[in-house]
Amino acid sequence: MDSIPFIKIADIPAFPEEYSLVTQSVADDGSLLFLFVEAAGTEAVRGMESRGGARFARTRMDLPMRFRLLRMEEGGCFVTDLPPLDITFPLIDVFPDGKVLVAGARCAWYEEGEFDLNETVYDPVTGGCTRILLGDGIVQLHVDRRGLIWVSYFDEGIFGNFGWGNPGPLPIGAAGLACFSESGEKVWEFEGKVEDCYALNVSGSEAFAYYYTEFPICRVSGDFRVTSWRTELRGCRHLAVSGSKVLLSGQYDDPPGTGYVGLLDGDALKDVQPVGLILPNTSRLPTHRLLGRGKHLHYFGDDAIYRTTV
């Protein structure tokens, strides 16, 4: 089996005083994003609750907490203090004009006209803060170079939970993959059958997705034209794409550090070969904390960020 090496591109930044790291991401321009929450919110931001004998993520914190964004790019590190937010299990990205998007993965519908607005758009120049709704059950969320927000959903966000679908309206993420304006207007949604969108890669003005149950790879162009390729791979969670070449993370039950490379050809992913995903110390890559944007697949380790290029 061939190996694909990851190289170290940066150290994980030191935590700001009295803050803890809650999530990380990569912006469309390649800058690295680190979202911190004040220490008092470390547990609440990942809060769980029991309902009907099962455990679910809480949709919001009891008290808003302060967040801080550190953006690492070639010119240095830049810190943005955000207003107090009650968002749980946050996702982070930035708009081309510098606005910040902080999104909660879960939101509930309570009754007609009452539901969680689980996304915040913050303008660090004016201090303006807008809450919008992008739906429950978010897997991944990315802003493209035009400022459009691409969102993928898992099964609860598609079929409904937390009041969405029963007794409330159709879930916002019922299509499994959707695109929104900065103001939260849905400008496009997928028309195929998605039951769980496993992987999403947004770069420039286009998106690639890979979803359950048939697990095709589909490309959505900037004008929302969809092209799909069949695959024989099942359960991959991340992908990177360069031209016709694709790198995916491992399938169900694969050992850590397994990946697959193949070519998008005709209507299928062809010439698929397993590969080992290798850190600089030659150890196999753990299976979690990967993120694909464009031709790069990133790994966020405990102390550093690593990257490989398709």
Give the mean model confidence (pLDDT) for residues 255-276: 97
For the chain, give the mean pLDDT.
96
Strand order in the sheet with 129-132: 90-94, 100-104, 119-122, 129-132
CB 171 within 8 A of CB 159: yes
The pLDDT assigned to 146 comes to: 98
Look up the domain containing 181 and give its range.
Answer: 2-309
pLDDT in tens, 133-160: 999 999 999 999 999 999 999 999 999 9
Q: Is residue 136 helix, strand or coil? A: coil
pLDDT, tens digit, for every residue of 42-69?
999 999 998 777 899 999 999 999 999 9
Please name every residue paired with 20 in a beta bridge, in sequence order, or none if there are none: 37
What φ, ψ does residue 204 adopt, rounded to 5°?
65, -120
Query: How does strand 114-115 pair with strand 109-111?
Result: antiparallel
What is the phi-psi region of residue 35: left when phi exceeds 0, alpha when psi lies from -120 to 50, beta otherwise? beta
Percent of the chain at pLDDT exceeding 70: 100
Q: Which residues contact 84 (CB under 8 A, 6 or more apart)?
A: 64, 65, 66, 67
Whichever domain contains 154, its CATH number is 2.120.10.30
Question: Is residue 287 predicted with pLDDT exceeding 80?
Answer: no
CB contact burial 168-193 (16+ within 10 A = b; e otherwise) = beebbbbbbbbbbebebebebbbeee
Predicted TM-score (pTM) above 0.75: yes
What is the per-residue pLDDT for 92?
98
Q: How many domains does the chain have?
A: 1
Instruction: Assign 228 a pLDDT band (cuts: 50, 70, 90).
Output: very high
